Amino acid sequence: MKGFDAVFSANTIHIMDCPSVECLFAGIGQLLPVGGKFALYGPFNYGGRFTSESNRRFDEWLRERDPASGIRDAEAVDHLANRAGLILRNDYEMPANNRTRIWRKSG
């Protein structure tokens, strides 16, 4: 079976609980070959702060429906990525207060 060179996910980690986010990164770290990329689209906090008032309201709504969900801190996500052998390469601003963050599997 041929492996994967890249993985893309959109609007996922803010609706997952933390253990599931940890498993996502660990699994992607195992799946990707050296040089492979993981692109993740969605909202992120930076330095524990919301990037917009609309993201703060969205996070509140997410936590009301499921207290284990919510907008994740970019730094915490980077830590999970690093544990999985992934290094942040790009962080792109996107419409509607979202980001696309891209990690590369190190060797």
pLDDT digits (tens, 9 = 90+) for 37-54: 999 999 999 999 999 999
Amino acid, res. 83: R
| d(C-alpha 85, C-alpha 1), whole Å | 22
**Taking the CA of residue 105 as centre, how many other CA atoms within 13 Å lie in the half-sphere pointing to its CB?**
19
What per-residue confidence (pLDDT) applies to 76? 98
Domain ranges of the chain: 6-105
CB 8 within 8 A of CB 37: no
Tokens of 44: 């992120």
- 6-105, superfamily in CATH? Vaccinia Virus protein VP39 (3.40.50.150)
Rounded-to-10 torsion of CA 37, 38, 43, 46: -70
What per-residue confidence (pLDDT) applies to 2? 64
| d(C-alpha 88, C-alpha 75), whole Å | 10
Q: Percent of the chain scored above 90 by pLDDT? A: 95
pLDDT band at 1 (very low <50, low <70, confident <90, very high): very low
Please, what is the average pLDDT of the chain?
Answer: 96
